[in-house]
Amino acid sequence: MPVDDDEARVHCRLDELLDERGMTLAKLAELVGVTVVNLSVLKNDRARAIRFSTLTAICDVLRCEVGDLLVVTPRE
């Protein structure tokens, strides 16, 4: 099945996880070692890719699993 770039089915739950932990995007960026802009792109479901090292660092800081951060939304 070809990939349809207009159909973003992977949703990033970064907002929810940050809220649950009382952490800001700026603080997460500082702890992970990436820019706020890059995390914002991920948070707003506009990222086309993410490095495994960044994903691992985010999960380490937030003490979560990849499946807590990224979820696949059902097709309509």
Q: What confidence score (pLDDT) does residue 76 get?
A: 72
CA distance 75 to 16: 22
Residue 7 has pLDDT above 70, yes or no: no
Query: Does residue 17 contact residue 64 with C-beta atoms inside 8 Å?
Result: yes
The identity of residue 69, as a single letter, is: L
Domains of the chain: 10-65 (1.10.260.40)
Residue 6 has pLDDT above 60, yes or no: no
Chain segment 17-76, per-residue pLDDT in tens: 999 999 999 999 999 999 999 999 999 999 999 999 999 999 999 999 999 999 998 887
**DSSP conformation class of 7:** -
Looking up tokens 């990224």 gives 70
Global pTM reads 0.86
Number of H helices, E strands in the chain: 5, 2
**DSSP conformation class of 73:** P
